Amino acid sequence: MPSLRRFCFAFTATLLVCFAPSPGMAQKPAIKITVDLSDVARKLSHTEMEFPVTAGPLILTSAQWIPGTHMPAGQAEAITGVVFTAGGQTIAWRRDDVDLYQFHLTIPQGVTTLHARLDTIVTRRASQKLAAMEWENVMLYPAHTPVRDIPIQPSLIVPAGWGIGTALTPIKAVGYPVPAAGSTTHFEATNVEQLEDSPVITGLYFHEFPLAPTVKPQHFIDVVSDAPEDSNLRPAVLAEIANLVREADALYGSHHYSSYHFLLTMSEIAGGEGLEHGQSSDNGVGEKGFSDDAHQLPDADLLSHEFTHSWNGKYRRPAELYQGDFATPQQGALLWVYEGMTQYLGNVLAARSGLKTAAQYRDVLAITAAELDNTPGREWRPTSDTAVAASILRGGNFPWINWKRGQDYYFEGELLWLDADTLIRKLTQNKKSLDDFQRIFLGKGGNTGPLILTYTFDELVQDLNQVAPYDWATFLHERVDKVNQRADLAGLESGGYKLIYKNKPTASERKIDEAEGVLGHPINCWYSIGLRLANDGSIGDVRWKSAADKARLAPGQKVIAVDGKIFSADGVREAIKKAKDSKEPIRMIVQADSFVSSVEIDYHDGERYPALVRVDGKPAFLDDIVKPLTPPEKAPEEPKKDDE
């Protein structure tokens, strides 16, 4: 979820070749890596590596800047037990004094192979029944070398009975995708850039489902879960994901992978992930994340978002965001395209494929628009700065996030590209849309393997003008680079809808709050008194300049009582309703650290929840946008339970 530049077509076509593995790579001897996940339930993995070497100095490194994370997310601190040997002798090493990811060694004369053994402490994405593994966390490779030019041969050992999901192609495997006990699965050689881009999920409760067989190349969803019933996805969900494959095929008109694997972990321990890759995506949800429609809604766009990244972000990537190694900082100025346009397309595809309904799409869009329109930090910080500063905003603290602003390039980008879509439809009498732009922008080079084709802002503008001539450079600069105190709601209004506030939440908002809350704070009084509260009364955030802010409330405090009654969610809502017909303030007793105090909130406008309403007389472009491009697949009826 939260940097893009363009070149003219002739130049980008050249870059397409340049970013392919170099011809000389095939002649280079490959590094060999075998990762043993047999101990992953104890939060450990074991790696054995063999490096072809020559005598003299050698610097090995682990990855620091991981594509898709938009920050230095490497886990060098988790690597332990590092031992290098050659010819039966231990080779001494020393960590670099400045770049702490690097190991310095001196290879003796006559040595041609260096062996490395290391363990990795698994800090997340692993439970007793499943694990997700990113290769960059368990390997070393030569520093100061383009990672696409380093050949590597991967192998994997998993616990007995566990299945394997990955986009890598097995070449020597017994029983794959559920390998025989004690066996090692060997995969085709690749390069370090592509291996980093090819994660693995493995688990005891494993299912692999083929999807949309008429769409080529092949698509699969590989699922692991902590409970046996969860990985056996409902027929309705499988039909919707198959629809997603067909809808993406129709929308983008090209593919940039040899085959595609949706990797899905379902776990309360190892869930909570969304990371894009060229030929797969690493998706993690809660244990019951797709068990029914209510649980599905909060993550309904997860698969479609990460799938879209195969085109937008992995294949087409901002020139300054792409780096030839994993050590050089990535520049995120165009993340409002990389992530923002993906956020827009992911939600559109979720609606077109049935992962969410059209009504749910509108409800969630209303929440997004209201959230951004009530973000006071936009008074001082433009959207472009949330992208440039992505590496210091990701994973940050949430208190006062509305005044600081967070990774807003995701959702600001969603509204911006909705604005662009409806504008194109208006300029062309609804004969063209952003869909036409995607086929130009994301389809350059036609069907390819997993490659990287960079672009610049100028190319972005050029491609938009191919669809509908307009001053797109000014359009984008005004919305991204300028300080705008209000959110870009023009796309909603051009799409035939208007953002309003009602005294009851929409059905979708109720489902989302019940399933997960907003940032874990399901009592949402954000648009009324300006608070987000946990069920125990803890204040997650306070909206800057709201009634709660004026009452001097602060994130981290805890509401103990409301209007003379012990705190409860219903009590807060009742107090807000009661204050609407009264001049009396809402009175709270609040704990801050070890102190207790009383506060009065002077608010009298009742409950407020965002919603979209149809505007008569305007074209319903928003409805057109989410219409499927292909006939949907209907799932077979699920068998009725005995008690039905």
The token pair that represents 420 in the structure block = 């662009």
Q: pLDDT, tens digit, for every residue of 74-110?
A: 999 999 999 999 998 999 999 999 999 999 999 999 9
DSSP per-residue string spanning 461-500: HHHHHHHS-S-HHHHHHHHHTS--SS---HHHHHTTEEEE
Are 163 and 284 members of one domain? yes
SS3 label, residue 173: coil
Distance CA 416, CA 545 (A): 26
Distance CA 8, CA 286 (A): 44
pLDDT at 516: 61
In this prediction, what percent of the chain has a pLDDT beyond 90?
A: 89
Q: What is the pLDDT of residues 487-545, one digit of tens each?
A: 999 999 999 999 999 999 999 998 887 776 554 567 889 999 999 999 999 999 999 99
- Using CB atoms within 10 A of its CB, is residue 344 exposed (0-12), middle (13-18) or buried (19+)? buried
Do 431 and 569 have their domain in common? Answer: no
Residue 20 has a pLDDT of 46
Q: Do 64 and 112 fall into the same domain?
A: yes
Burial 560-585 (b: 16+ CB within 10 A, else e): ebbbeeebebebbbebbeebeeeeeb
Which single residue is written with the structure tokens 């019933």?
Answer: 229
pLDDT (tens digit, 9 = 90+) per residue, 344-360? 999 999 999 999 999 99
Q: What's the rounded Cα separation, in Å, for the pair 441 and 474?
A: 19
Percent of the chain with pLDDT over 70: 93
600 DSSP β-pair partners: 587
Domain end marker among 276, 291, 306 = 291
What's the chain's average pLDDT?
93
> Has residue 636 got a pLDDT over 80?
no
- The number of residues making up the chain comes to 644
Q: Tell me, what CATH number does 535's domain have?
A: 2.30.42.10
Do 139 and 191 contact (CB within 8 A), yes or no? Answer: no
**Is 565 within a domain?**
yes
Write down the pLDDT at residue 8: 26
Q: Quick one: tokens of 428?
A: 């062309």
Supply the pLDDT for residue 635: 63
In a domain, residue 519? The reply is: no
Distance of CA 305 to the CA centre of its chain: 7
Query: 340 and 269: one domain?
Result: no
Mean pLDDT of 223-250: 97
The answer to whether residues 135 and 201 touch, using CB atoms and an 8 Å cutoff, is no
Taking residue 234's Cβ as centre, other Cβ atoms within 10 Å add up to 15
First to last CA, the chain: 39
Q: Which CATH number is 138's domain given? A: 2.60.40.3650
Cα 582 to Cα 561: distance, rounded to the nearest angstrom: 19
Between 253 and 6, where is the model more confident?
Answer: 253
> Cα–Cα distances in Å, from 18 out to 66, 314, 319, 365, 440?
21, 15, 13, 40, 21
- Asked if pLDDT for residue 3 goes beyond 50, the answer is no
Structure-block tokens of residue 136: 């960059």
pLDDT greater than 80 at residue 596: yes
Residue 435 lies in a domain: yes
Helix or strand holding residue 36 (H, E): strand 31-36
| The pLDDT of residue 546 is above 80 | yes
The predicted model gives 252-272 an average pLDDT of: 95
Q: Is residue 358 part of a domain?
A: yes
Answer yes or no: is 231 within a domain. Answer: yes
Residue type, 542: V
Edge to edge, the sheet with strand 595-601 lists 565-566, 558-562, 586-592, 595-601
Q: Is the pLDDT of residue 18 over 60?
A: no
Which pLDDT score is estimated for 518? Answer: 52
Same structural domain, 141 and 99: yes
Whether residues 491 and 586 fall in one domain? no
- Please state the domain count of the chain: 3
The verdict on pTM exceeding 0.75 is yes
Are residue 373 and residue 286 in the same domain, yes or no?
no
496: alpha, beta or left, given left = phi > 0 and alpha = psi -120 to 50?
A: left
Residue 27 predicted with pLDDT over 70 = yes
Beta pairing class for 260-266 and 280-285: parallel
Q: Which domain holds residue 187?
A: 28-291
Please count the CA atoms within 13 angstroms of the CA of 295 that sit on its side-chain side.
12
**Does 234 share its domain with 346?**
no
Domain-terminating residue out of 453, 483, 499: 499
Q: Averaged over 414-441, what is the pLDDT?
A: 98
Reading the block at residue 78, the tokens are: 């988790």
At 398 the pLDDT is: 83
Task: Give the least confident one: 82-86, 288-292, 467-471, 598-602.
Answer: 288-292
Q: Residue 88 falls within a domain, yes or no?
A: yes
Q: Is residue 23 part of a domain?
A: no
Q: Do 244 and 278 reside in the same domain of the chain? A: yes
Same domain, 173 and 64: yes
Last residue of a domain, one of 482, 499, 516: 499
Look at residue 7 and tell me if it is in a domain: no
The tokens 């662009």 sit on which residue? 420
Measure the CA–CA gap between 234 and 231, rounded to whole angstroms: 9
Q: Mean of the pLDDT values across residues 616-629?
A: 97
Cross-strand bridge partners of residue 61: 102, 141
116 alpha-carbon distance from chain centroid: 33
Backbone angles phi, psi at 166, to 5 degrees: -170, 160
Helix, strand, coil percent content, the chain, rounded in steps of 5:
30, 25, 45
Q: Are residues 484 and 342 in the same domain?
A: yes
Q: Are residues 243 and 347 in the same domain?
A: no
* Cα separation, 540 vs 530, whole angstroms: 11
Q: How far apart are CA 174 and CA 403, in angstroms?
A: 56
CATH number, domain of 413, equals: 1.10.390.10
Structure tokens at 37: 């996940």
CB atoms within 10 A of CB 87: 12
H/E/C letters for each residue in 231-242? CCCCHHHHHHHH
Question: From residue 50, how far is each of 46, 114, 155 by CA, in Å?
Answer: 14, 6, 12
List of residues 6+ apart from 164 with CB closer than 8 A: 156, 158, 176, 177, 178, 179, 185, 200, 201, 202, 206
Strand pairing report for 200-203 and 130-133: antiparallel
